[in-house]
């Protein structure tokens, strides 16, 4: 079964004096269960916009996103927020950890917002990402690689079916880039998660099962 299907997505934005710029043009994509998908493209090509639409953070101008065959927009904004919280985990290039919270508290935050008790899972994830000894350190006390590992654990805390990763290795050096990517793919594989990863790094894209390139607003399958 395909967990996510994008059908003819288009997105435009106002561009002054009544004009609009079309960033995405009839983009269609199928994300299989437990599959990994790379979306590459140059800076400004619309990769992050597409990822935000997939995750329900941005509404398309036209087109549809379906989850298990049903529109994610069908239940309105409240239903969309519930679906996003339950089914999607986000990993960002800049980590977006809360500076006043410890690594453990950051990992638990999405569960706390849903009033879920996930303390045992949080410690399990901390161990898997190698941060048990850093559980009570704040982000400023962690390296970039450690912050991104905490972000991976945070993305998994609500046991989502889909992980959306926006340039997850973009701010890391070569050694940390490889370690973080391996960790993400290993954990996603072990837990049967689908991964949609945006990157400008072709070496990273080649690690995914399916590879696409966004050019001129259109998505093309690459080998």
Q: What is the pLDDT of residue 116?
A: 86
Residue 19 banded pLDDT, cuts 50, 70, 90: confident
Residue 2 banded pLDDT, cuts 50, 70, 90: low
Residue 203: C-alpha distances to residues 96, 121, 181 (Å) = 25, 32, 11
Closest by Cα among 202, 134, 188 to 156:
188
pTM over 0.85: yes
**In the chain, % of residues over pLDDT 70:** 99
* Residue 43 DSSP code: T
Where do the structural domains in the chain lie, given as residue ranges?
A: 33-59+75-222
- Please determine, for residue 60, whether its predicted confidence score (pLDDT) is greater than 90: yes
Closest by Cα among 158, 159, 160, 142 to 150:
142
Distance in angstroms (rounded) separating the CA atoms of residues 210 and 194 = 11
Q: Which pairs with CB-CB distance under 8 Å and at least 24 residues apart come from 143-148? A: 143/176, 144/95, 144/171, 144/172, 144/173, 144/176, 145/172, 145/176, 145/179, 145/180, 146/103, 147/95, 147/97, 148/91, 148/95, 148/172, 148/176, 148/180
Fold for 33-59+75-222, please state it.
Rossmann fold (3.40.50)
Angle, nearest 10°, between helix axes 144-156 and 103-113? Answer: 20
Q: Report the relative pairing of strands 162-166 and 88-91 from DSSP bridges.
A: parallel
Q: What is the pLDDT of residue 122?
A: 96
Distance in angstroms (rounded) separating the CA atoms of residues 213 and 223 = 10
Q: What is the pLDDT of residue 94?
A: 84
Handedness of CA 144, 147, 153, 155 (dihedral sign): negative
- As a residue count, the chain comes to 223
Residue 164, helix vs strand vs coil:
strand
- Please determine, for residue 105, whether its predicted confidence score (pLDDT) is greater than 70: yes
pLDDT tens per residue across span 134-164: 999 999 999 999 999 999 999 999 999 999 9
Distance in angstroms (rounded) separating the CA atoms of residues 8 and 166 = 22
Residue 5 banded pLDDT, cuts 50, 70, 90: very high
């Amino acid at each position: 079964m395909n967990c996510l299907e994008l059908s003819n997505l288009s997105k435009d934005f106002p561009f002054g004096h009544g004009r609009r710029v079309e960033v995405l043009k009839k983009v269609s994509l199928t994300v299989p269960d437990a599959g990994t998908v790379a979306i590459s493209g140059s800076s400004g090509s619309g990769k992050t916009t597409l990822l935000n639409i997939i995750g329900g953070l941005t509404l398309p101008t036209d087109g549809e996103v379906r989850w298990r065959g049903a529109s994610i927009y069908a239940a309105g904004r409240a239903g969309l927020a519930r679906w996003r919280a339950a089914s999607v985990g986000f990993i960002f290039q800049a980590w977006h950890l809360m500076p006043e919270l410890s690594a453990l508290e950051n990992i638990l935050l999405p569960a706390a917002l849903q009033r879920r008790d996930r303390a045992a899972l949080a410690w399990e994830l901390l161990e898997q990402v190698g941060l048990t000894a850093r559980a009570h350190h704040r982000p400023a006390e962690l390296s970039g690689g450690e912050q991104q590992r905490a972000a991976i654990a945070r993305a998994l805390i609500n046991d989502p079916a889909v992980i959306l990763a926006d340039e997850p290795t973009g701010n890391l050096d070569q050694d940390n880039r490889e370690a973080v990517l391996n960790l993400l793919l290993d954990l996603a594989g072990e837990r049967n998660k689908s991964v949609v990863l945006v990157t400008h790094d072709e070496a990273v894209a080649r690690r995914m099962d399916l590879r696409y390139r966004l050019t001129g607003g259109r998505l093309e399958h690459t080998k």
